[in-house]
Chains A and B, each alone.
Chain A
């Protein structure tokens, strides 16, 4: 099941610079997308979401961009901080109901001082 793909297993970014995490999806029925952050030994923590009627959503240092024609979304973190080091998961759901979240494999982000 490869409906949601995060092709970069890891990403290393210098503190203060921009981190860009990417996610692709194949199911055109997906209409709601979320990013979660996960630290070791903890559950996924919700970060930010975007509905398919929008192409951008911003919350503080986090911005999610959605390109529906390319079936691609990205998470921008700026400026990156050491506490941002974690595994980031992209997830998607499809109406109606939109209950089941389909997750990508995750990208491990490391912020270097």
Chain B
């Protein structure tokens, strides 16, 4: 069964450093998403991406964050200058289309630890 994959599974970085989290969505999916879950809190939406541009973003997704689809398979989330509060599980998801009856499928996540 096709699945979303994410690398690395765990990333440790120092405050102020840039990190890039990588995702390979399901191959025939057109919509891509990033979510995060801070320990003990809800899963929160960050951004959605379609047709090589951001289609929706949350207030969390400020200028420190960016997303890119550098080739036909990868989807990346970059955090320019990490803060301690960026420590969280980051989940990539993809869906065939947008709207009702199009479920989002999630990857296993990248645990980001900022020290």
Interface residues on B, range: 20 to 34
> In the complex, how many angstroms separate the beta carbon of A11 from the nearest chain B beta carbon?
18
- For A101, the chain B residues whose CB sits under 8 A away are 35, 43, 45, 104
- How far is A104 from B31 in the complex, measured between Cα atoms in Å? 22
Closest to B43 in A: A103
B59: nearest residue on chain A (CB-CB)? A1
A29-62 with Cβ < 8 A to chain B = 31-32, 34, 36, 41-46, 49, 51
Taken together as a complex, chains A and B put the C-alpha atoms of A103 and B91 apart, in Å, by: 13
| Cross-chain contact B99 with A97 (CB below 8 angstroms) | yes
By a CB distance below 8 angstroms, the chain B residues around A89 are 43
Q: Contacts of B55 on A, CB cut-off 8 Å?
A: 97, 99
Kindly state the separation between the CA atoms of A89 and B106 in the bound complex, as whole angstroms. 13
A51 in contact with B106 given A97-B56, A99-B55, A102-B45 (CB within 8 Å): no
Partner of A105, one of B42, B103, B108, B109: B42
Interchain CB contact under 8 A, B108 and A41 = yes
Query: Given the complex of chains A and B, what is the CA–CA distance between A98 and B35 in angstroms?
Result: 15
Check B104–A43 contact: CB distance below 8 A.
Answer: no
Q: Which residues of A are found within 8 Å of B35, using beta-carbon distances? A: 101
Taking the closest CB of chain A, its distance from the CB of B75, in whole angstroms, is 14
Minimum CB–CB distance from A28 to chain B (whole Å) comes to 16
Does B17 sit within 8 A of A, measured CB to CB?
A: no
A-B pairs, 10 with minimum CB distance: A43-B106, A103-B43, A99-B48, A32-B100, A98-B99, A100-B45, A46-B103, A44-B106, A43-B108, A103-B42
Task: Kindly list 15 other residue pairs between chains A and B, CB separation below 8 angstroms, not including A45-B106, A96-B99, A103-B42.
Answer: A34-B103, A34-B104, A41-B109, A43-B91, A44-B43, A44-B91, A44-B106, A99-B31, A99-B33, A99-B56, A100-B45, A101-B35, A101-B45, A102-B45, A103-B43
**Chain B contacts to A: CB under 8 angstroms:** 4, 6, 31, 33, 35, 41-45, 48, 55-56, 58, 91, 93, 98-109
